[in-house]
Amino acid sequence: MNDNTASSTLTLWSEAGIIATNGDAIADFYIYGADTANWTLDSATSTQNYYTHKFCNETDNNCLASGPYGADFTALATSTQLLKGSVAASGQVAFQLSMHTPNPSTVYTQQSVVVTIQASAP
């Protein structure tokens, strides 16, 4: 099968579709992604079988105006990155995700991606 000639950019849960909620204490919220079974998470998709997954803190930024690859979106990594610091007890953080599939790719099967939100004491 030939390599992809185009890739897809998907804005997932536009506007404030995902909300992380804090419990009973002030916490820092961290976010990180993961490789799939066949694709490697990276900040660019110009390498075969690499994909990008980005996030935007909707609570602090206007993600919709920025667009899925605008200045307010940050590339996910496999290590933790700060989503929002010092979230108040019972506080919330709304965020968006955007994914860009590999181009080129030699893998045409369904891939499952994981995004993890972690709360930690500041």
- pLDDT tens digits along 60-79: 987 877 776 677 889 999 99
- Does residue 6 carry a pLDDT above 50? no
Number of H helices, E strands in the chain: 1, 9
**Structural domains of the chain, count:** 1
Provide the residue range defining the domain that includes 75: 9-120
Residues 6+ apart with CB under 8 A from 109: 38
The fraction of the chain above a pLDDT of 70, given in percent, is 83
Rounded Cα–Cα distance for residues 32 and 15 (Å): 20
Contact 102, 53 (CB under 8 A): no
Tell me, yes or no, whether 67 lies in a domain: yes
Tell me, yes or no, whether 50 lies in a domain: yes
Tell me, yes or no, whether 46 lies in a domain: yes
Tell me, yes or no, whether 56 lies in a domain: yes
Tell me, yes or no, whether 64 lies in a domain: yes
Determine the average pLDDT of the residues in 20-40: 89
